[in-house]
Amino acid sequence: MLRALLSDDLPRSRWLAVALLAILIGLAVAPFLFPGAKSLNVAAKICVFIVLAASFDLLLGYTGIVSFAHTMFFGIGAYGVAIALTRMGAEWTSVAVGVVGGLILAIVLAALIGLFSLRVRTIFFAMITLAVASAFAILASQLSDITGGEDGLNYRLPVVLRASFRLIEGVNGRILDYYLVYFCSLALVLVLLRVVNSPFGSVLMAIRENPFRAEAIGYRTVVYRTIASCIAAATAALAGALLALWSSQTNPDTTLSFDIMIDILLMVVIGGMGTMYGAVIGAVLLVFAQNYLQDLLAIAHKALVGAPLLANLFHPDRWLLWLGVAFILCVYFFPTGIVGRLRNKR
């Protein structure tokens, strides 16, 4: 049963299996085990970014496509739901329209970019996607009548997902919203696992290793790469829709920023490219670091107050420095990513 659920792609490492199980259970009980608005928001962001990083790993790790437009599809999904809820009201039909509209736009754009750009070399395709993503972010900022401009959109969620809604004692709409994000994220990751472990996924890996040989034996590499881009774009759009349903506020900084693209790349590299489980590990580690590293440094800063030099080194404002150091050490000691290292050790 477990093998079928994981598409016969087992962790193949005892420590990796323990880590994945801990993440699965920890996120499942997060609303009750870690009470508080911040911890619940961190858990929801982890779920969303696991899906986003996994969809990017389908491109980078399994197909060998370097794209900087992934956050554009993420933003399309988020803005689709946000615009629909703003214009049509806080109803489930609005959510459905926003999700479907975002999916269609993301798939169409991914297909157009793929068919017209994937024939060029990798670096030129990366530059094309960067230009398209930058243009889309500027467009979203300037179309203030539709997207709210730099301020973004604020909207009301359906009644069931509001904090004021009570299902039973101790379970409100906010917790129901979290479990909507959790189970949808879990389902999307399992679907991606099925994709990469199917014959289609095997062709993608063959194209990644040697596109000329794959073309020579009869596979149209542009078509397969375009299909992979469309699947990744659709998944990223669904991740954006989940973020919009969780945050009830959408703006360019939270969905279209290039910083998010860097974060996704770091998650995939830290976790391990071409493993899918690496996206899970990488997303958990990076989101935790972004939200709690300052708190840990504040504790260290307070403990070292008697040593001014060390205390200054561990000042909370230097959390980005320590995050960079941690990334360098991770790349040095885990050149194939954490998951890759664990599997090789196994």
Q: Which domains does the chain have, with CATH numbers?
A: 2-30+38-345 (1.10.3470)
- Residue 82: what pLDDT? 95
Q: Cα(274)–Cα(225) distance, rounded to whole angstroms?
A: 15
pLDDT tops 90 at residue 234: yes
- Residue 267: what pLDDT? 93
- Contact status, residue 113 vs residue 228, Cβ threshold 8 Å: no
pLDDT, average across residues 120-128: 77
pLDDT tops 80 at residue 340: yes
120 pLDDT tier (thresholds 50, 70, 90): low
Q: Cα(202)–Cα(9) distance, rounded to whole angstroms?
A: 13
pLDDT, average across residues 114-123: 74
pLDDT tops 70 at residue 316: yes
- Residue 282: what pLDDT? 94
Q: Best-predicted range by mean pLDDT among 12-16, 23-27, 110-114?
A: 23-27
pLDDT tops 70 at residue 121: no
3 pLDDT tier (thresholds 50, 70, 90): confident
pLDDT tops 90 at residue 10: no
- Mean pLDDT score of the chain: 90
335: number of Cβ within 10 Å? 11
331 pLDDT tier (thresholds 50, 70, 90): confident
DSSP 273-326: TT-SHHHHHHHHHHHHHHHHHHHHHHHHHHHTTTSHHHHHHT-GGGHHHHHHHH
What sign results for the dihedral spanned by CA atoms 197, 284, 182, 229? negative
For residues 169 and 177, the model is more confident at 177
Q: Of all residues in the chain, what percent are helix, strand and coil, respectively (each to 5)?
A: 80, 5, 20
The one-letter amino acid code at 307 reads A
332 pLDDT tier (thresholds 50, 70, 90): confident
Give the pTM.
0.94
Please write the tens of the pLDDT for every residue from 16-39. Answer: 999 999 999 999 999 988 878 889
pLDDT tops 70 at residue 346: no
